[in-house]
């Protein structure tokens, strides 16, 4: 099976053309995403045909579970689909040389705009849809009287967290801290938040520190993955929570260990995510 590996701000993915192909994708994800015994990646992205969009993207985490949304994965998917000419439906877009693509996901249809330089897609901007705040949309268990849920108190042993809870098509719990994020014990706290009983489907956990009105630094513990160098839907969740708390304005740069992502949210409409995308290598899976 031939594959390509791509990355966006350090968030890396293996992409395969699964159109008209039957396969155990979950099993493949568990094998191919292993860092030492496989190719190594934060997820497996499978291209499929769609009846409602140009293409369909299926996302499998390294543990074989499915993800509803994946912002950086969607951006890498668009680069792969355009450069490999996997669809004839790509529209030229409003600007010459910047094609647009619609992609079906479990979270809905994502709209993407690619920026091309030297016949290569170098930057992709995607619509991540509307943030969702109702407990059943995230989802979370328990009675919550105030929506949106901001700085919700959660106690883990001796540690107290203030979590802002929302969905970007997948669940997110955002915690703002005053110390540099590198000092936060994410490896210890992340799994506990991810699998806390209040999140029946698990959750992605982000910690973020405000640097100024337009810039934050962050780290993320992804559900079914562990810590990753960046997270697109996580960047969107952080921005939405920060704006609702009046920490930031409309346009924000989220600085992850793997690089920066640009997020735009006007406080009402869809969240826009942009950032660089790069090809890493192509190969053939022999197992």
At 55 the pLDDT is 96
| Distance (Å, whole) CA 276 – CA 257 | 14
**Mind listing the pLDDT tens digit for each residue in 175-184?**
999 999 999 9
Token representation of residue 247: 């920490």
Q: Is the pLDDT of residue 248 over 80?
A: yes
Average pLDDT, the chain: 94
Structure tokens at 59: 């996302």
pLDDT digits (tens, 9 = 90+) for 88-136: 766 555 566 788 999 999 999 999 999 999 889 999 999 999 999 999 9
Torsion of CA 256, 260, 264, 269, to 10 degrees: -50
- Domain range list for the chain: 2-129+275-284, 149-268
Q: Closest Cα partner for 109 from 123, 124, 94, 128?
A: 128
pLDDT exceeds cutoff 80 at 229: yes
Active-site annotation holds for 231: yes
pLDDT tens for each residue of 27-79: 999 999 999 999 999 999 999 999 999 999 999 999 999 999 899 999 999 99
CA 185 – CA 199 distance, rounded (Å) = 21
The pTM of the full predicted model, rounded to 2 decimals, is: 0.92
- Answer yes or no: 33 catalytic: no
Look at residue 97 in the predicted model and tell me its pLDDT: 73
Give me 22's structure tokens. Answer: 């039957």
The architecture in CATH of the region 2-129+275-284 reads Roll (3.10)
Q: 4: closest CA among 258, 286, 287, 280? A: 280
Instruction: Look at residue 80 and tell me whether its pLDDT is greater than 70.
Output: yes
Domains 2-129+275-284 and 149-268 belong to one CATH topology = yes
Classified by CATH at the fold level, domain 149-268 comes out as Diaminopimelate Epimerase; Chain A, domain 1 (3.10.310)
Q: From the candidates 33, 70, 76, 175, give the one annotated as an active-site residue.
A: 70
Active-site position among 33, 100, 175, 231: 231
């Amino acid at each position: 099976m031939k594959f390509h590996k791509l990355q966006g701000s350090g968030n890396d993915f293996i992409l395969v053309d699964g159109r008209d192909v039957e396969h155990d994708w979950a099993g493949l994800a568990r094998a191919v995403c292993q860092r030492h015994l496989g190719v190594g990646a934060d997820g497996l992205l499978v291209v499929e045909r769609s009846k409602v969009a140009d293409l369909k993207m299926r996302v499998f985490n390294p543990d074989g579970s499915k993800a509803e949304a994946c912002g950086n994965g969607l951006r890498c998917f668009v680069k792969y689909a355009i450069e490999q000419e996997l669809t004839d439906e790509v529209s030229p877009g409003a600007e010459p040389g910047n094609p647009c693509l619609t992609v079906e996901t479990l979270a809905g249809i994502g709209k993407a705009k690619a920026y091309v330089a030297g016949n290569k897609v170098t930057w992709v901007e995607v619509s991540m849809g509307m943030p969702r705040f109702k407990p059943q949309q995230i989802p979370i268990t328990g009675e919550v009287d105030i929506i949106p849920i901001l700085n919700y108190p959660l106690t883990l042993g001796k540690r107290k967290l203030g979590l802002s809870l929302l969905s970007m098509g997948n669940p997110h719990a955002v915690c703002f801290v005053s110390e540099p994020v590198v000092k936060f014990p994410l490896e210890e706290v992340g799994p506990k938040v991810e699998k806390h009983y209040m999140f029946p489907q698990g959750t992605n956990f982000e910690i973020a520190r405000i640097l100024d009105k337009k810039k934050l630094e962050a780290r993320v513990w992804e559900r079914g993955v562990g810590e990753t160098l960046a997270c697109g839907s996580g960047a969107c969740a952080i921005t939405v929570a920060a704006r609702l708390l009046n920490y930031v304005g409309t346009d924000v740069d989220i600085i992850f260990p793997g690089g920066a992502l640009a997020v735009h949210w006007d406080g009402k409409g869809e969240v826009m995510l942009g950032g660089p995308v790069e090809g890493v290598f192509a190969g053939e899976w022999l197992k």
